[in-house]
Structure 1
Amino acid sequence: MQATKQQQILGYFIEEAKEHLDTIERGLLDLQATMADTERLNELFRAAHSVKGGAAMLGFTSIHKVGHHLEDCFKLLTDHPVKIDQSLENLFLQGFDILKELVEELQSPYGLKEEDAAQRVQAAEPTFAELQNYLNRLLQEERNAGKPAIAVVQPVPANPELANRLHGALKMMLQLFKQGDTPANRQQLATLCSRMVQLNSSAEWRRLLQAVHSALAHPRNTYAIMAPLVIKELKLAGDLLLVGRASEIIPSTALQQLTIHPAPTPQLVAKLPLPEATHQPAVREVTTAKANQIIIPAEPRAAARALLEAFNKSQLIELAEFLMKAIQ
């Protein structure tokens, strides 16, 4: 009975934490607009505070610590607004990604291993130190200039309609990624890319959207890999469009790699046993050959995410039992 109660409490915390993470993510994806809205900025602070408090109550020290870092930085912004630039946005997003990954692991079959999480948080300390130092430097620059701090990263876009359409498209894309990986969902994302091409006639913008479209066309590119990369690239490209610097838009090497699919190497392909006596295939075809292979990244954490997306719960349990026998 006690274990059931604990699971219920954990479930409540995860659901609430996911809502708070959505609030933080939306605010950070358009930090300039967030800074201009006091209530939205306060929402970021309250969201980080709530995640921190819930984690402390349940004994998740790593989540509590990361939430505390973000809460302190959001508090600094609410008390002393500063100029927002790309470096500050990137540092905030890096810190947020750590918090999001820790909360997501609570839902994994093995849960959050606090010892491993503590090591990851320790490795992330330089990121939070850099974020804190950068904020302090921006504050000092405002004081030295003798001007009141203002939350502006660049002049107001000459085309506010374009800014709104870009923001709306990114928000819709983020929601589609969160809905899960299905053929219909990927088709909607591809359609959204086609519509976004029409927002600007520059060849550079079109080339970026074509790269995103190509990456989406390959099922082996998981949402866990694509979502943060695609959203960030389109956000940066959109910022360049709004200030008339479309010629500087270039797809990153990471995105271009998702559009290139050489024959799988032995190091990256794992042949997984199919569960016996099943009525449907355990995995959908993701190469061009037999439907009993999925691409497994070499990095353990990314490999775990690929397995979670490819198998259902009962299959994961069977796979875990198989692996435990293999290593004994």
Structure 2
Amino acid sequence: MQTTKQQQILGYFIEEAKEHLDSIESGLLNLSQTMAETEDMNQIFRAAHSIKGGAAMLGFNSIQRVAHHLEDYFKLLKENPSIKVDRRLEDLFLKGFDALKALVDQLQGTFGLRDEDAEHIVQGTEPIFAELGQYLNQLIQAGNAAPTPTQPLVTPQASGQVSKILKVMLQLFKQGDNAKSRQQLIALCTRMMQIAPKNEPWIHLGQTAQRAIANQANPYAKLAPILIKELKLSSDLLLAGRSGEIIPSTALQRLTKKPTPQLTPDQLAEAQSITQVRSHPTPIAQVEAEAQTMTIAKPPATLRPRTISVPNDPKAAARALLDAFSKNELIQLAEFLMKSIQS
């Protein structure tokens, strides 16, 4: 259940996202004219960037990924104003935009944006954005304008290195789960990152993979298929010069989160008793009076009655009682106080 504050923040995000979507749609419906005006082009670029940033802050990975795609391709349009816009280019951009709008609409719906629905929409956009990227490069080359790479290029040997590392990872997964193999898998992720050490999306993916491997709660049977698939798809994007599209999937990000430890029945009962005591505090003056008058378990004849002063501060009062009474006496005192609270 979301708190009122969370609902308010979500409402602000949806309201702003819809305004940004209106700006993007308006710009795409007449893309040629939009590209002719620098400020109009900047506006739809900023709109996609704002949606991406807001989604990332709130943890909506699917919205972030689609908005990131649009932002990257709007950047290509800005950097290559000589591109000749045609119907195919407009249609591809509009299909990507429709997916982003669908995600925001579902977020606003009665059931919110469910993970399985979001992942289905995102998977449907992958071939669209792949085609859009290829077509943009064709148009750029046709206009004699070389595309500006957004990330450093990798070496020709990178493809072979990736294949070797993935094969070793598969072998380690088959050998069984142990601390040594997890360390080796983490080291292999480091070798993966060294293929393009200055490529931020690639490095971020490698670090996310390392956190998932280090999480002992993930058995290999669950970890292996997600991790291998993620690294393979992302390495393909890297080698194709589309590293801006590399974003850890929702499934991989879930593997980095450690489960909340479950309390045993005894721990739960103890926690409930502490909560009850704290929710019905006994006035310090009453505790002091009762502590001074109570008799503790038939003291020996040689033990003289004790009178102690209990401070008003609860922590100081507890220290005073600990100094004045033995363990058994404290247990009896606690039982007496519990009965007084519950009566």
Relative to the length of structure 2, the TM-score reads: 0.41
Relative to the length of structure 1, the TM-score reads: 0.43
- Computing the radius of gyration over CA atoms, which structure comes out larger, 1 or 2? 2
